[in-house]
Amino acid sequence: MKKRLLFLCTANSARSQMAEALVNHDLGDRFEAYSAGTAPKTPHPAALKVLAEIGIDHGRARSKSLEEFEGQPFDYVITLCDGANETCPLFFGGVERVHLGFEDPARATGTEEEVLTAFRRVRDQIRVKIEAFLKDKTQE
């Protein structure tokens, strides 16, 4: 049976969307990932673009509110930004809550290429850090 993960960020537009897509693509045989936001906004086009660059089509993504998942069972609830970590609700009691913080690429400024570079860097950091975390969990 697959372990269920919920990635939380404030807007559910960049980091949590990328984490959801990466885990489902790379580790979908063992994990089922979802994402939500405490104040959801539309998925960031740059997040979708840098996922597509590595062969992940997340174009049907939509930002989801945390309330959509209330009462659902998860093995891990993983916050990716400080805001979500501080406001993570108590209804996720009984699951392992983890904070793996990443900078917000949506705050990047500059040319389109500079912004995409920031998104690529965070995408790659998310992939490495989350896969390492989940590898440790499968060995427990």
CATH number of residue 14's parent domain: 3.40.50.2300
Respond yes or no: is residue 9 known to be catalytic: yes
Output the average pLDDT for the chain.
90
Q: What percent of the chain has pLDDT over 90?
A: 73
Which among 11, 88, 122, 134 is annotated as catalytic? 88
CA nearest to 43, candidates 25, 16, 66: 16
Contact partners, residue 32, CB within 8 Å, separation at least 6: 2, 3, 4, 5, 24
Phi, psi of 32 (to 5 degrees): -125, 110
- The answer, yes or no, to whether residue 11 has pLDDT greater than 80, is yes
pLDDT tens for residues 59-116?
Answer: 899 999 988 998 889 999 999 987 655 666 555 556 788 889 999 999 999 999 999 9
Tell which wins on pLDDT, 89 or 3. 3
Q: Can you give the residue range of the structural domain that contains 99?
A: 3-138
Respond yes or no: is residue 81 known to be catalytic: yes
The domain total for the chain is: 1
- The answer, yes or no, to whether residue 25 has pLDDT greater than 80, is yes
Which among 6, 22, 66, 81 is annotated as catalytic? 81
Respond yes or no: is residue 63 known to be catalytic: no
User: What is the C-alpha to C-alpha distance for residues 38 and 13, in angstroms, rounded to an integer?
Assistant: 11
Phi, psi of 99 (to 5 degrees): -115, 120
Q: Which residues of 67-91 are buried (b: 16+ CB within 10 A; e: fewer)?
A: eebeeeebebbbbbbebbbeebeee
CA nearest to 122, candidates 70, 44, 66: 44
Read off the pTM.
0.92
Which among 6, 8, 9, 100 is annotated as catalytic? 9
pLDDT value, residue 95:
78
pLDDT value, residue 83:
65
